Structure 1
Amino acid sequence: MQSVYEAAGGHEGLVRLARAWHERVMADEVVSHAFSHGLRPDHIERLAAYRSEALGGPTTYSDRYGDESSVVRTHSGNGPHEEMDRRAIACFDQALTDVALFEDDPVRAVLRDYFAWATRTTMSRYHDSAADVPAGLTIPHWSWDGLIG
């Protein structure tokens, strides 16, 4: 059986999805606030590399950019933001349609479940301070059956 990464179109498929999601997010008045401080020029590539690794692809993110601790720190210390999370997930769902992953495609449900889980757990676990994030976290891996390990 192919990995979620392969079923999603590999790295290029996840780049398309990252781009579609980012366009949706930047058009959302609530979620776009998360990027008001600016973003790296390679944001979409880094996002695709992170999701690729999480979904069974190559370890490019860990090899080039950092570990899970660095990712979680970037998303921490901003207080609770349930509305922003809900809207980010809605943007992701719309982005899945934008890249032609429709309701009847099995990979769509897995990708949506992964994104919702990551948004509501790992990326929003440390509301008070990025300093609370422990060192050495590894990128969680997701399969057709959900979280691995």
Structure 2
Amino acid sequence: MDAINKPGVPTLFEWAGGTKAFEKLFDKFYDKVLADDLLEPVFKHMSPEHRLHVAHFVAEVLGGPKTYSEQEGSHFIMISKHLQKYLTEAHRKRWIELLLQTADEHSLPDDPEFRSAFMAYLEWATRIAVINSKTDEVTESADSPMPEWGWGVVGGPYMP
């Protein structure tokens, strides 16, 4: 049994504060994105629902409810949103920088174990986004499962 499903071990989603924490995080984050000279051109045409979709997607990946996959999209659809966006390493790094800045400002847990797992996911996901942004078709199956991200090496602050 992995740490994602181990009894007594909170998911990253739970540790972060649940759905409302992710919705607030991404709402405030996208305010920063739209005020940023590098990222605003990439995101200026995003739908009004984009903030919530990303919040629900990340929350689900980190062990939260299946709101995104059951009501809003799929991993395949999320990947397809990045096609032909031609994201650069500078875009990727700035996206992470602003998200972590927002996480600090809005009290996302700052313990090293959580931040390590959160950063690992952000690094992985943003690198996948950059790769997919340079193509015009999704190479994954349309029914590919949502990613699941946990603590990694268990030893978080939740341990007795």
Q: TM-score, normalised by structure 2?
A: 0.80
Q: Distance in 1 between matches of 2:65 and 2:83?
A: 26
Answer yes or no: is the 8 Å Cα contact 1:78–1:127 preserved in 2. yes
Q: TM-score, normalised by structure 1?
A: 0.86
Q: In structure 2, what is the equivalent of residue 25 of structure 1?
A: 33
Q: Distance in 2 between matches of 1:71 and 1:6?
A: 23
Answer yes or no: is the 8 Å Cα contact 1:4–1:143 preserved in 2. yes
Q: Distance in 1 between matches of 2:109 and 2:81?
A: 31
Aligned residues: 144
Q: In structure 2, what is the equivalent of residue 73 of structure 1?
A: 80
Answer yes or no: is the 8 Å Cα contact 1:73–1:133 preserved in 2. no
Answer yes or no: is the 8 Å Cα contact 1:69–1:136 preserved in 2. yes
Give deviations 1:8-66, integer Å, cap 9, x for gaps. 11101111111122122112111112113x12222222111101110001111010111
Q: In structure 2, what is the equivalent of residue 15 of structure 1?
A: 23
- RMSD between superposed Cα atoms in Å: 1.9
Answer yes or no: is the 8 Å Cα contact 2:63–2:148 preserved in 1. yes
Q: Distance in 2 between matches of 1:102 and 1:60?
A: 22
Higher helix share: 1
Unpaired runs of 5+ residues, structure 2, are 1-8, 154-160
- Point out the structure with max Rg over C-alpha: 2
Could you tell which deviates more after superposition, 82-91 or 98-107? 98-107
Unpaired runs of 5+ residues, structure 1, are none
Answer yes or no: is the 8 Å Cα contact 2:76–2:138 preserved in 1. no
